[in-house]
Amino acid sequence: MTLRDTLSAILVVTILGANFVAIKIGLETTPPLLLCALRFALAAIPAVLVIRPPRAPATLVIVFGLALGVGQFGLLFTAIRLGMPAGLSSLLIQVQVPFTVALAWLFLRERPRGLQVLGGVVALLGTATIALGRAGGAPLGPLLLVVAAASAWACANVTAKRIGRVDMLALMVWGSLATAGPLLGLSLIVEGPAALATLAHPDWTAVTSIAFQAYPTTLLAFGLWTRLLTRYPAAAVTPFALLVPVAGILSTHLMLGEPLSPDILAGGSLILAGIALSIRGGRRRAVDPMRVAVDAPPRAVS
């Protein structure tokens, strides 16, 4: 990855980490599915009036939007509302990294390199180090919902790679439009019409939470993330997501006063080391067959 794209990846994980603070604040006053629907509706409207659809099959755009909106965030918001700690959620959802690499290998024939596999393993060890220090009392049901959310994120990642290089802002806007309606429908079914009563007297903290999730997170961070996935192999990009829990825990420490601990420092160091290995492995240049043909010694004439 280039330095510019590496910095883009770091910006993405910083925003995604801080987003867990916004989620936690928003869920204090708004039901999870409704909060998720409002997030994606705000990301899509009025942008769809001025941004053309991406040059991609509509089916893939809809699948991408549903996997990201209903699958990843619908399940994640519900899990946090049901008692899953936000900090631990930011850790557990990173199992999307091996899920994404495995799906890219199975469906897109992207075989990860040795250093990338090693880097992913080291980074996951760092995630496990932090999780083991914080896993006490985590409820099983919400925990399984976060794992399901991670698998949905992996599906969204692979779908984005299948779509290829398109206007990423357009993909995020129209993907958000595709998921906002289903999320609102699920909210009415699961949470009931009474959930809409929270819109009659909106709280400024909820409005700020939704705006942060819609613009810096959905349009900017996930737009950049999707762009990186279309430019590089999944094994080179997804390890950066393992920095999200580090950014999330630091954000909750600075903004919500949650304490830091030695397991966070140790696990964060392992995550950084794993990402460094993955980046090094991703910088090996592929051999140009034309260059090999030019540089190869002439064959003896028999």
Does position 79 have pLDDT exceeding 90, yes or no? yes
State the Cα–Cα distance between residues 25 and 38, nearest whole angstrom.
15
pLDDT digits (tens, 9 = 90+) for 112-161: 777 777 877 887 787 777 667 665 556 778 888 988 998 999 999 999 99
The chain-wide mean pLDDT, for the chain, equals 82
**DSSP codes, 224-273:** HHHHHHHHS-HHHHGGGGGGHHHHHHHHHHHHH-PPP-HHHHHHHHHHHH
Can you give the pTM of this predicted structure?
Answer: 0.78
Domain boundaries defined on the chain: 3-194+203-283
Instruction: From 269, 260, 186, 169, select the one nearest 223 (Cα to Cα).
Output: 169
Neighbours of 200 (CB within 10 A): 6
- Which residues contact residue 145 at a Cβ distance below 8 angstroms, ignoring those fewer than 6 apart? 75, 76, 78, 79, 82, 84
Highest mean pLDDT of the ranges 100-109, 129-138, 179-188, 259-268: 179-188
pLDDT digits (tens, 9 = 90+) for 208-253: 999 999 999 988 998 899 889 888 888 788 778 778 877 887 887 7
